[in-house]
Amino acid sequence: MGKIVRCSIVIYDDFNNVLIAQRGKVKKNAPVIWSVFGKDIKGKESGEKCITKAIDKDLKCNIFDLAPFKEYVIDEEKEESLLVYIGKIKEFITCHTEINKIKWISERDLNLYDFSNNEKEMLLDFFSSRK
């Protein structure tokens, strides 16, 4: 695919529930947007280093069983893509101040939440891969 400019991670548990987060200020009567965890790659940073930094900042914990999952095209013209990882958390989570809420959800809960960008597609792909 193209040049990887961003990395995300689907954090899952032993029952294949995934962890999602709601960030930032929510305006009155505006939909609450949820997302998975990730960040833009800086410099010559590897994908694993990028994800490790993102999780350390957002959740202040370590990821176990980290593995590449799938690559998604972000911008076809610029040939930029997003690399998605999967992994587990086996320790206590302490959220960064910009995270309002976190929730563990299952596949059947997916339609109850509004997600940013193509993250719903990413989560559907994850759930499909677990069947």
Whichever domain contains 104, its CATH number is: 3.90.79.10
pLDDT tens digits along 80-130: 999 999 999 988 899 999 999 999 999 999 999 999 878 999 999 999 999
- Backbone φ and ψ of 76, nearest 5°: -65, -40
Contact 100, 24 (CB under 8 A): yes
pLDDT tens digits along 16-71: 999 999 988 777 777 889 999 999 999 889 999 999 999 999 999 999 999 999 99
pLDDT of residue 1 exceeding 80, the answer is no
Per-residue pLDDT, 118: 83
- Backbone φ and ψ of 94, nearest 5°: -125, 110
Q: Residue 92 is encoded by which pair of tokens?
A: 């206590």
What is the band of 13 on the pLDDT scale with cuts at 50, 70, 90?
very high
Per-residue pLDDT, 75: 86
Domain of residue 106 covers: 3-129
Give me the number of domains the chain comprises: 1
In the predicted model, what is the mean pLDDT of the chain? Answer: 92
